[in-house]
Amino acid sequence: MANVTASIQQTLRESIEAAVTHLRHLDARPWRVLIILGSGLGALADEVADAKRIPYADIPGFARSTVQGHKGQFVIGTLFGVPVAIMQGRMHFYEGYPLWQVTLPVRVARAMGATHMIVTNAAGGINRAFNIADVMLITDHINLVGMAGHNPLIGPNLDEYGPRFPEMTTAYDPELRQRAAQAAQAAGIELRQGVYVCLAGPNFETPAELRFLRAIGADAVGMSTVHEVLVARHAGLRVLGLSGITNVARLSADEGAPPSHEEVMQASAQIAPKIFAIVRDVLPQML
Ligand code: HPA
């Protein structure tokens, strides 16, 4: 076991180094903010000035994003005056990748100079007050995948990135949350706030699972984000998290239509402009 985890650490260090060398060779500009765009939210990347697009498939050590609605590339450049790297699509645990590889882009972003991360996702609304196309500011998370024994920080610690036992009381930066709330208000967007719970997926939840998630304090459920936030916080990045509510939970089988990826993609089209408005306001003042 010791040898296995040690070799994962070696692979991880080598992968970070190889990816950084490759990226610097293609575009030497330092990164400041990593922005991860979830399912159907990729359009924000079209606003990047002086954009350089780098497919994950070209980057050594990177997994490919295989999900429909995820382009699978970095868009590097300037957004609203700030040097950014946008992830147009992400990797998920359910695609079969180990969590160190799912979160590799976050460690690479840190090595490229990023100090902040804006992470977005599509999520199912569990809170009864939520509607389709709402945006939820993530105030906290529940890592059910982690509780089941899968955590990207398991294995020998990368001391140059962060401590063995990172604390998570303010994983979602209070100051950035306040700025996002103000930005939403200024743009006339009714911003929801709540706790995001991460499941492995890829199936959607049963009604009994959704009732369980509500009982433990979750407001929205998804299949991403938490792993990236753990690695970002470990590396000292300040994090802002936004969930687009693409469907609302059926807490019993006779309540409404079952969720589908098509529904998620349709709602994302309504959510994208709201996230765009919040990011436009927050990004220039976040550094
Ligand atoms: N469950 C899990 N993940 C999701 C959902 C959902 O209902 N909607 C979008 N991503």
Amino acid occupying residue 5: T
**Active site includes 133?**
no
Q: What is the pLDDT of residue 250?
A: 80
Cα gap 2→52, rounded to integer Å? 40
Cα gap 34→79, rounded to integer Å? 11
SS3 123: strand
Query: If you take atom 10 of ligand 1, which residue's CA is the nearest one?
Result: 123
Q: What is the pLDDT of residue 1?
A: 47
Q: What is the pLDDT of residue 11?
A: 85
Query: If you take atom 9 of ligand 1, which residue's CA is the nearest one?
Result: 123
SS3 73: strand
SS3 170: coil
Q: What pLDDT digit, counting tens, does each position of 154-198 carry?
A: 988 999 899 999 999 999 999 999 999 999 999 999 999 999 999
**Active site includes 6?**
no
Alpha-helical (H) ranges within 40-189 are 99-102, 104-111, 144-147, 174-186
| Alpha-carbon Rg for the chain in angstroms | 18
Beta strands 73-79; 82-88: pairing state: antiparallel
**Active site includes 116?**
no
Catalytic residue among 65, 121, 224, 243: 224
Per-residue tokens: 7:
């070799």
Cα gap 134→45, rounded to integer Å? 21
Residues of the chain with pLDDT under 50: 1
Query: From start to end of the chain, where are the E strands?
Result: 33-37, 49-55, 73-79, 82-88, 116-125, 135-143, 191-198, 220-222, 238-248
pTM above 0.85, yes or no: yes
Superfamily (CATH) of domain 2-286: Nucleoside phosphorylase domain (3.40.50.1580)
| 79 CB near ligand 1 (under 6 Å) | no
**Active site includes 15?**
no
| 36 CB near ligand 1 (under 6 Å) | no
In 3-state terms, the chain is what percent helix, strand and coil (to 5)? Answer: 40, 25, 40
Residue pair 41/272 in contact by the 8 Å Cβ criterion = yes
> From the CA of 204, how far away is ligand 1's center (Å)?
6
Q: What pLDDT digit, counting tens, does each position of 114-136 carry?
A: 999 999 999 999 999 999 999 99
